[in-house]
Amino acid sequence: MVPHEFWKALRMTDFVTHLEAAIDGTRLPADRIQTLHAGRPLWVRYDLDAVRRSVMPEDIARRPPTLWRYRELLPLPDGTEPVTLGEGMTPVLAAPRLGASLGLDDLWIKDESQLPTGSFKSRGLAMAVTMGRRFGVRRLAIPTAGNAGGALAAYAARAGMEAFVFMPKDTPVVNQMECALAGAKTFLVDGLITDCGAIVRNGAAHMGWFDCSTLKEPYRLEGKKTMGLELAEQFGWTLPDVIVYPTGGGTGLIGMWKAFAELRALGWLRSEKMPRMVAVQSDGCAPIPRAFAAGERFAKPWENAATCASGLRVPAAVGDFMILDAIRESGGCAVAVAEGRIVAAMRRGVAAEGISLCPEAAACLLAIEALVSDGRIAPSDRVVLLNTGAATKYVEAVPLTLPLIENPQSVDYARLA
Ligand SMILES: *Cc1c(COP(=O)(O)O)cnc(C)c1O
């Protein structure tokens, strides 16, 4: 058995029971393509008692280190081969130097920049493309702030499927390149991601494509959920005190919270204590912190959204209430940080630990600093920061002015230090 085909040796049992509308609990069958219900997302539900009887954490520990090791908690039906680039099981790195500079004794970074296509979008899109292929879809489409398009393009190519990507015209150039290079039909749009979303929605009937927008199909969320499963396993089936997450559409935060609930129901966690979930946005686009502060369950769209942390430039999220519910249930909060400080925080964070922090994660550093100073995070708390993408994808965000050595034959070494 070649390593990447390990799932063929696993017992092929599908534990999905149904899909459930997040807004009103309506049950929907999982054996066909489903999108939204009442304009809102769906949960994938499992027979967790059957999962508990079928697999134990020790079994999982012996499997290869990709997100497919959690297949009993994933929507992979019998006989379905994943579309995979080897994604998952990213390292959780201790960050003592950065932690100390933020006033924390126990800071960790889960480094999602090491995933295929350099962002955690590969988790969700590996799952969505796998399920799309399973249901006979040939053509996929996505509106994107950048990284989701890159991931869809890569996984569509991997699956031999057709992809259409729509992105704002000022999307980072690396994202534009990765989509075009992977053969996706890639379009720049004079508008925001919400305008791109409308293009995909309105074109569905004419183009016959499958809409892979965040939370508009149920499976990207299950892929993102594996971040939470990994975190629990990597900390010996315990959870940290605080999880700080850069929030756009919110799938990562919602997905981790779902993962923790499923693990608790399975009885796999060594402590019942759940982490406080912290959603971070830029004050250039902060619909979630605004709704959180106002005590509202639904977020009003943000006008004139602008941030260099392109993954956070989501003025309206279809799963807003799922994000806000998770934050409140967990005892966490939502924080907006100063847009103008993000790039400096990125330089400081990368220089402190050598981890390739994206601007979205840099925003989280500013949030941590604020929460430590107002006492909502204690210095001894175990805090995990999600580094959702690689710094190197944001070429335009980080201006460089490097000194030039004009005469390599006569370097004045005294001036280098
Ligand atoms: C997409 C993205 C986010 C936001 O993720 P959501 O699941 O939409 O909340 C954060 N950081 C990066 C780098 C992203 O690409």
pLDDT tens by residue, 318-373? 999 999 999 999 999 999 999 999 999 999 999 999 999 999 999 999 999 999 99
Q: Which atom of ligand 1 is nearest to the CA of 317?
A: 8
Supply the pLDDT for residue 1. Answer: 41
The pLDDT value recorded for residue 9 is 47
**pLDDT value for 197:** 96
Tell me the average pLDDT across 296-300: 98
Q: What is the pTM of this model?
A: 0.95
Phi, psi angle pair for 300, to nearest 5°: -75, 145
- Which residue's CA lies nearest to atom 14 of ligand 1? 311
Confidence of residue 12 (pLDDT cuts 50, 70, 90): very low
Mutate to test the pocket of ligand 1, among 115, 117, 122, 147 (most ligand atoms within 8 A of CB): 147
- For the stretch 38-69, pLDDT in tens is 999 999 999 999 999 999 999 999 999 999 99
Residues 155-211 pLDDT 10s? 999 999 999 999 999 999 999 999 999 999 999 999 999 999 999 999 999 999 999
User: Which is the closest atom of ligand 1 to the Cα of 360?
Assistant: 11
How many Å apart are CA 241 and CA 238, to the nearest integer? Answer: 10
Identity of residue 382: R
208-250 residue pLDDT tens = 999 999 999 999 999 999 999 999 999 999 999 999 999 999 9
Q: How confident is the model at residue 417, as a pLDDT?
A: 87
Backbone angles phi, psi at 401, to 5 degrees: -135, 85
198 backbone dihedrals φ, ψ, rounded to 5°: -65, -35
* Average pLDDT of span 112-116: 98
Minimal-distance CA residue to ligand 1 atom 10 = 311
Sequence-distant (6+) residues with CB within 8 A of 32 are 135
Task: Enter the tokens of residue 56.
Answer: 């134990």
Counting Cα atoms < 13 Å in the Cβ hemisphere of 384 gives 26
Name every protein residue with a CB atom under 6 angstroms from any ligand 1 atom: 119, 121, 147-148, 214, 246-252, 311, 358, 360, 388-389
What count of Cα atoms within 13 Å lies in the side-chain half-sphere of residue 135? 20
Q: Report residue 79's pLDDT band, with 50, 70 and 90 as the boundaries.
A: confident
Contact 93, 353 (CB under 8 A): yes
Query: DSSP alpha helices (H): ranges in 10-55?
Result: 48-54
Please choose, from the candidates 107, 80, 111, 81, the residue with its C-alpha nearest in 3D space to the C-alpha of residue 94: 107
Atom of ligand 1 nearest to the CA of 124: 7
pLDDT in tens, 245-267: 999 999 999 999 999 999 999 99
Q: Which atom of ligand 1 is nearest to the CA of 147?
A: 15
Spacing, Cα 20 to ligand 1 middle (Å): 24
Checking if the pLDDT of 6 tops 90, the result is no
Report which ligand 1 atom has the smallest distance to the Cα of 255.
Answer: 7
Q: How far apart are CA 93 and CA 324, in angstroms?
A: 28
Distance from C-alpha of 128 to C-alpha of 144, rounded to nearest angstrom: 15
What 3-state class would DSSP assign to 402? coil
* 8 A C-beta contact, residue 353 and residue 108: no
CA nearest 335: which of 410, 245, 267?
245
- In tens, the pLDDT along 371-388 reads 999 999 999 999 999 999
Residue 377 CA to ligand 1 center (angstroms) comes to: 23
Looking at residue 234, its pLDDT comes to 98
Residues 6+ apart with CB under 8 A from 154: 85, 116, 117, 122, 125, 178, 182
Nearest atom within ligand 1 for CA of residue 250: 9
pLDDT band at 77 (very low <50, low <70, confident <90, very high): confident
Pocket test residue of 179, 285, 312 for ligand 1, highest count of atoms within 8 A of CB: 312
Q: How far is the CA of 33 from the centre of ligand 1 (A)?
A: 24
d(CA 349, CA 99): 10
By most ligand atoms within 8 Å of CB, the mutation choice from 388, 392, 393, 394 for ligand 1 is 388
Testing ligand 1's pocket by substitution, the residue of 121, 213, 224 carrying the most ligand atoms inside 8 A of its CB is: 121
- Residue 78 pLDDT level (bands cut at 50, 70, 90): confident
pLDDT attached to residue 372 = 98
User: What is the pLDDT at residue 141?
Assistant: 98
Partner residues linked to 108 by β-bridges:
94, 384
If you compute the radius of gyration of the chain from its CA atoms, what whole number of angstroms results?
21
The CA 416 to ligand 1 mean position distance, Å, reads: 38
Q: Which segments of 240-307 are extended strands (E)?
A: 242-246, 276-282
